[in-house]
Amino acid sequence: MSAVTEHTAPSSFPTDPTEPQERGLTDPVAVRERDEAGTRRPSGPAKGDAGRRSALVVAASLLAGLVAALALVLGPFAGNREAVITGALLLGFAAGWALVAVLSERFTDRPQRWAAVPAAAMALTGLGLVVLAPGDGTLTALGWAWPPLLLALVVWMIVQARRRPSGRAQSWLLYPVFGVLALAAIGGAYETVRNATDPAPAVLAGSRVIDVGGHRLSIRCIGSGSPTVVLEPGLGETAAAMARWIAPEVARTTTVCAYDRAGHGRSDDVPAAGADAPRDLNVLLARAHVPRPYVLAGHSLGGMFALSYAHRYPAQVAGVVLLDSMHPRQHNAFAGTDRFLGVLPTLARMGVARLLADPKDGRPTKQAAAFVRDVDDMPAQLDRAAKLTSLGNRPLAVLTAGTDAEPGWTGEQNDLAKLSTDSTHRTVGPATHQSLIDDKRYAAQSSRAIDDVVKAVQRSG
């Protein structure tokens, strides 16, 4: 009898139940734990580490984009036109979203490839704005397009982010950013609609827009008699704002004219070559047939325009009134901030300026641009005003606000009063810098100071 030996194939699995077993590709649990590239996804504590790493990558990328945007605006593109500043911001933000897409793919197991889409959209838009540098009219027209497109992009981004869950920490980073972008879109749409539907500032009787050589300035004169008072609005102000309470009172005594410098109120934008404010005013008064001599009344920065005009055309100026005016040698309170202020017109396109500007004085977007332009020009304007060292015996009134004045302001006001041998200096204790023209009670004090100089000129013959 032959013996039959039975052979059993060796098992591919360990026979010892305590020995650890590796799950194969057919194990459904293992399959779920593998990502698209075939690498095992972390489980347990490792998942928390991966989530934190993913959130860190997103945070660092978005922060880098913000830093890049600020660096572009404060560096190579500082002082440029509104469109260029906006384009520079978009290029910086585009870099941030591009980093989210690239770095999340490279260093995490939760790639955010969808971030390449906002990166491309912002980069292309930003590049177009920088290269083409459209003007105010084109930017206003684009306000009908970019808010809905941005809002649609935000909705798409939210959908994509939800399809690729990235953990709680990363969500806390992304969704506030989505919210800010959505608010920008809604604010931009609101500002565009308001600009189109708000009634235009009333064109008062006597208002004219006159060409002064390549651009037009707005002027309005009321009253009668001589000398003619010319109101010089302050930093970022319009003629309407300064004349609202002052002009009707002064018109009881003599002729009073209020005008908008280039880029302000109803006047045209500043020419590409820049504006020469004294020359512009001289041409404007001549072409509007405004009779001489003039009493110039300037508020804030407007006082510096009054002094520079008196220096350039001394024979035309019979007297000066300085309403809480700046001083040619004062400390520049905006020093170092002008580069940051360059983003104000861009923010104004999103409705932010409506929180501060009065629509009765014109479109908030134009007011924001005028304010930034005045700040940029202020050092040069102070230097031009400093050229006037004396008014001789021509009447001068200095009116100072007594509330919220900066240190040294009173001394500078006293110094201004020394410009003439025939000067008066009064301080209105409860008044603030702005209330001397905005508040009817204190604007009456401004009107009185102007009347005093007018009467002094009339007495001198």
Model confidence, pTM: 0.77
Average of per-residue pLDDT across 123-143? 95
Residue 82 pLDDT > 80: yes
> Confidence band (pLDDT; 50, 70, 90) for 203?
low
Predicted local distance difference test score (pLDDT) of residue 2: 42
DSSP 352: G
DSSP 420: B
Can you tell me the distance from the alpha carbon of 187 to that of 167, in angstroms, rounded to the nearest whole number?
30
Identify the sign of the CA torsion 162, 168, 172, 174: negative
Can you tell me the distance from the alpha carbon of 41 to that of 34, in angstroms, rounded to the nearest whole number?
5
CA 234 from chain centre, in angstroms, equals 18
> Confidence band (pLDDT; 50, 70, 90) for 333?
confident
Can you tell me the distance from the alpha carbon of 269 to that of 265, in angstroms, rounded to the nearest whole number?
9
Predicted local distance difference test score (pLDDT) of residue 15: 44
Residue 40 pLDDT > 70: no
What 3-state DSSP class applies to 210? strand
Residue 420 pLDDT > 60: yes
User: Using an 8 Å Cβ cutoff, are 371 and 427 in contact?
Assistant: no
What 3-state DSSP class applies to 375? helix
More confident residue, 26 or 406: 406
Predicted local distance difference test score (pLDDT) of residue 280: 96
CA proximity to 98, closest of 117, 112, 113, 119: 119
Can you tell me the distance from the alpha carbon of 317 to that of 92, in angstroms, rounded to the nearest whole number?
50
Amino acid code (one letter) for 203: V
Predicted local distance difference test score (pLDDT) of residue 269: 86
Can you tell me the distance from the alpha carbon of 84 to that of 346, in angstroms, rounded to the nearest whole number?
10
Residue 42 pLDDT > 90: no
Predicted local distance difference test score (pLDDT) of residue 172: 84
CA 191 from chain centre, in angstroms, equals 14
Predicted local distance difference test score (pLDDT) of residue 304: 97
Average of per-residue pLDDT across 262-274? 85
Can you tell me the distance from the alpha carbon of 433 to that of 200, in angstroms, rounded to the nearest whole number?
28
Predicted local distance difference test score (pLDDT) of residue 165: 65
Can you tell me the distance from the alpha carbon of 100 to that of 383, in angstroms, rounded to the nearest whole number?
48
More confident residue, 252 or 31: 252
Amino acid code (one letter) for 163: R
> Confidence band (pLDDT; 50, 70, 90) for 9?
very low
Polymer length of the chain: 461
